[in-house]
Amino acid sequence: MIVGQPIPFQARTKLRIPLASANVQAGFPSPAEDHMENSLDLNEHLVSNPAATFFVRVQGNSMRDAGIQGGDILVVDRSITPGNGQIVIAMLDGDFTVKRLRKKGKRVFLEAENAEFTPIEISENQELTVWGVVTFVIHPAR
């Protein structure tokens, strides 16, 4: 799975969207409330460090079992130190990719979340740069 070129976050304006005061039931419906109590700005919820945040659009399906599909937009924070098991944006030999970072002793792997793809073990002949940690996935309802 590859990702497009990073797009830096720029808070141009605040966009406050109405927020319903009631929770939405995923099971049986509950009585509806006809009023909006608060509003929210998605920037405040999705971006904790604006100077270190960027967005990328996903191509491919190697991360589908992690809930990441082609066409999704990933929110990525470069200020987070990447840890074992986190989903990261990495540049491997000059190409951007999104994978799960896995460390096993001194060995490092980039793992897909799709059984059709084998893990990539990083050799000393390869150049790996982890650009940041994926903090949110934005995708349309399917």
Each residue of 124-141: pLDDT tens digit?
Answer: 999 999 999 999 999 888
Residue 99 bears catalytic tag: yes
What is the arithmetic mean of pLDDT over 61-67?
A: 95
Q: Is the pLDDT of residue 50 over 60?
A: yes
Closest CA to 109 of 134, 128, 133, 132: 128
Catalytically annotated residue among 21, 62, 79, 123: 62
Q: Is the pLDDT of residue 98 over 80?
A: yes
**pTM flag (> 0.85):** no
What is the arithmetic mean of pLDDT over 61-77?
A: 93
**pLDDT band, residue 19 (cuts 50/70/90):** very low
Average of per-residue pLDDT values in the chain: 81
DSSP labels, 48-96? S-GGGEEEEEEESSTTGGGT--TT-EEEEETTSPP-TT-EEEEEETTEE
Residue 62 bears catalytic tag: yes
Catalytically annotated residue among 14, 21, 30, 99: 99
